[in-house]
Structure 1
Amino acid sequence: MNNKIIAGSLVIAFWLSTFSGIAQVNFNDKPELAATPPMGWMTWNYFADKINEKDIKEMADAMVSSGMVKAGYNYLMIDDGWQGGRDNRNQIIADPLKFPSGVKSLADYVHEKGIKLGIYSDAAQLTCAGYTASLNFEEQDAKTFASWGIDYLKYDYCDAPADSATAVVRYKKMADALRNSGREIALGICEWGNRKPWLWAKNAGGQLWRTTADVRDKWAALKPWKDPNDLHSIGAGIMDIVDVNADLAQYAGPGGWNDFDMLVIGLNGKKGPSGDLGGKGCSETEYQSQMSLWSIMTAPLVATNDLRIMSEATKRILLNEDVIAINQDALGKQAERKINKGNWNVFVKPLKNGDYAIAILNRGASAESLSLNWKDLGLDGSYKINDLWLHKAVGNGKKWSGRVLSHETKLFRLSSTDK
């Protein structure tokens, strides 16, 4: 057979296997980079592209002093706006006014505090905010990031083609470059779910992949949507992102996670990226629900508020170790939505030690009561019910009854009492 025909057949076979989700080639050969969902803090929703090394160092300090690092938030991620172009050797450089000491110095600073440093680029010529990006410079930029001590790359997709095939090629090229850089650098694929990355992103080398439009600081979109792509123009709230991801549980697991975008907890309607498209802020109950739902659905937990001035309410939500333990459970199962009826959503997540996490969400506008038999969720037997927000046992047996506030999510850990 003609060599060109053979080569063409192999390419077609690769694409078919990739998009069917059954590719046997596993490019993600270091799942330990994200054995559990990454946790950390990211610059974008608070600072947008107005970032500098002073503010980032202060955030690193606050990650330690507030207890964030102790709780497991061990990545500090620099988003768009750090770039200063390329030098006469085409090596990407940081903006010298924003980062006069350089990124290597900043990485050393955060590493000394037990924090890993993330950075941002884009698989096109320019980033979403119009800065220098990495298309056709993947090998060079990956080695530069490695030399600086970078541990994580958020790789965006603004100004890139709409088709999926090109995205796979571009993301795999950067994943390969990172793997060959001499340093372990996790890759966050950020094409916002438009090309169904849950079907191909892990095989292309990503450890996590965004599944939706950018999150806004609001409970839900202000008008109905049919296609998730509509959320780019109307703004995705907490509930919209939950709904998109409720059908994607099978694609998440150790080494590869559905990325729900950042936690808006503590932003309180701040103007900026999260304040666009109706992002006027959420109630404390709604912020607590985001933490519950992101945790039980094994989403990366990436805060984006000002850690230097956190309220006690924000700390209470972000630093709840019992809730974080659900997110970081080593079994790595994303919760499945077992009930989606009327105002009620109920999610179930199996845990490694045999326990189950249960989230009961009231999406309605007023408080309501619910009686729930565990058998209706597929759980036989009797369980001790631990409320992870009240930090106490609230019952034993084969069912639960109680009142759930508007937009509240009850989060329980069930431990079998059967002998």
Structure 2
Amino acid sequence: MKLKSILIAIVFLGLVSKVNAQSQTLALSPPMGWNSYNCFGSAVHEDEVKANALYMAKNLKQHGWQYVVVDFLWSYDNPPGSNIGNPFQKNLQDGSFVPWLTMDKWGRLTPQPTKFPSAFGGKGFKPLADYVHSLGLKFGIHVMRGIPRQAVWAKSPVLGTKGITADMIADTTSKCPWMNHMYGLNMERPGAQEYLNSLLKLYAEWGVDFIKVDDLSRPYSAAEVEGYHKAIQSSGRPIVLSTSPGATPVEKAVHLKINANMWRVADDFWDNWKEILQMFDYAKQWEGIGGPGHWPDCDMIQIGKLSKRGPVGVERYSRFTVDEEYTHMTFWSIFRSPLMLGGNLPENREQELKLFTNDEVLAVNQHGINPRQLFKTATSLAWYSQVPNSKAVYVALFNIGDQQQDVQVDFALLGFNGKVAVRDLWKSQNAGEFAGKYQIQVNKHGAVLLKLSPEN
């Protein structure tokens, strides 16, 4: 029994060592940036990516925002008559592989030049990445798990192998239920890892800093998650790995910490109050798991101009009320979710800019320690985290009821006695000193974010 315990301890320490090695290289705090999906669906064009990058550089970079991510189907031609905003329809690509995805001879998808003109001549995303980098920002892309079905049909050779072709490494029984472009990879077959290595080598040559790999977390594809992680390590470039969509199985937490930097806790999140209520519950399942290098992800921020060309609903500013937007930003901040803006940034109004540039609020997301749920009732909810190098704590209070009400935090729940200084972070002002509790009136579906500093 003693020997067995020692062996278990060695294995555990080995896992922790691997986790720490991953944690100390990338995403030490939750990544912050912009993603094209919520406002452009499959159809974002290069000029729109540049416009969002330029807006970020001018207005958001100084507050910590840095990633510019091109979401899915950048190799898709969007032929006349196709629904370019929401391609989850029939005839996305027919049995004859029409439209043909833009692909190199090694079976690796490349940007469609009609959407990304700078990619013409085989340049890939390098010119666009260079532009983003010139602004002091980082560049990311979305990819689908596996290998293109058209590469399997064409028996494309696998770079870095001798005589291995795409049809020899594909798992043709592994298919995405909502996208008919790809097959999964059989990672046990020779050449499968080499294919992923060739992909990440290409992305590294382009200057990619972030990849969001879709159809990877539900169902959880452990071998392919490991494959992407190994490919990133072999690429010679630090690249953040985000897995999608959710809900990712909580029991895979240790594996995720070793192999990924962020992972979705739920399916696609949109601007509906019921989905915020559901997100509170999803996040509670991941309580205590996030940390430097590995972050449970609540999905993109649904604030600003959405669905300009799909994918969900008509073009609009967020359907959230102003109070619901504050709840949205407050919870993503206190939980320490990655913050990826989903709206078209150049169309931001003053109210959006105010939500995205409060440095005291963003500090809660970037630096809070060990976020936890403090309490939950039928109409109210509270989460808290620790302020680094301090006895102070951050506390987020939420009114999840359907009418205005007082919400309070009892200091004893936090181990405080005596007077406590309260600062309202959204208002950027001190509320005063209080004993025993702090109580504040909160609008329907609203939130407040506080810093509590005990005198003793």
**TM-score > 0.5 by shorter chain:** yes
1:339 Cα deviation from its structure 2 partner:
0.8
Gaps of 5+ in 2: 1-6, 76-100, 120-124, 149-175, 186-191
TM-score by length of 2: 0.77
TM-score by length of 1: 0.83
Contact 1:175 1:206 in 2 (8 A): yes
Contact 2:374 2:384 in 1 (8 A): yes
Is 1:290 aligned to residue 328 of structure 2? yes
Q: Give the length in aligned residue pairs.
A: 377
1:196 Cα deviation from its structure 2 partner:
2.8
Contact 1:385 1:414 in 2 (8 A): yes
The 5 A counterparts of 1:186-225 are: 186-196=240-250, 199-220=253-274
The 5 A counterparts of 1:318-337 are: 318-329=356-367, 333-337=369-373
1:346 Cα deviation from its structure 2 partner:
1.0
Per the alignment, residue 342 of structure 1 pairs with 378
Secondary structure at 2:266 match in 1: coil
Is 1:394 aligned to residue 431 of structure 2? yes
Closer/same/farther in 2, CA of residues 380 and 350 from structure 1, 3 Å limit? farther
1:376 Cα deviation from its structure 2 partner:
2.6
The 5 A counterparts of 1:115-194 are: 115-125=137-147, 129-131=179-181, 135=185, 136=192, 137-157=195-215, 162=219, 164=220, 167-194=221-248
1:132 Cα deviation from its structure 2 partner:
5.8
Per the alignment, residue 402 of structure 2 pairs with 365
Contact 2:27 2:293 in 1 (8 A): yes
Name which of 58, 80, 98 aligns with 2:115.
98
1:90 Cα deviation from its structure 2 partner:
2.5
What residue identity is the alignment partner of 1:76? V
Cα-Cα RMSD: 2.6
Structure having the higher Rg: 2
1:371 Cα deviation from its structure 2 partner:
3.8
Between the aligned partners of 1:376 and 1:34, the Cα distance in structure 2 is 31
What residue identity is the alignment partner of 1:86? M
Closer/same/farther in 2, CA of residues 134 and 314 from structure 1, 3 Å limit? farther
1:271 Cα deviation from its structure 2 partner:
7.1
Secondary structure at 1:178 match in 2: helix
Between the aligned partners of 2:285 and 2:250, the Cα distance in structure 1 is 12
Contact 2:145 2:182 in 1 (8 A): no
Name which of 46, 54, 62 aligns with 2:47.
54
> What is the percent sequence identity of the aligned residues?
27
Per the alignment, residue 75 of structure 1 pairs with 67
Between the aligned partners of 2:26 and 2:34, the Cα distance in structure 1 is 17
What residue identity is the alignment partner of 1:199? A
- Superposed CA deviations along residues 89-120 of structure 1, whole A, max 9, x for unmatched, are 32331112111212100000000101100111
Name which of 363, 378, 388 aligns with 2:415.
378
Secondary structure at 2:260 match in 1: coil
Closer/same/farther in 2, CA of residues 273 and 377 from structure 1, 3 Å limit? farther
Name which of 275, 278, 281 aligns with 1:240.
278
Closer/same/farther in 2, CA of residues 268 and 185 from structure 1, 3 Å limit? closer
Between the aligned partners of 2:112 and 2:179, the Cα distance in structure 1 is 14
Between the aligned partners of 1:334 and 1:304, the Cα distance in structure 2 is 26
Per the alignment, residue 233 of structure 1 pairs with none
Secondary structure at 2:373 match in 1: strand
Q: Which runs of 4+ in 1 moved over 6 A?
A: 268-271
Larger displacement relative to structure 2 (342-351 or 263-272): 263-272
Closer/same/farther in 2, CA of residues 46 and 123 from structure 1, 3 Å limit? same
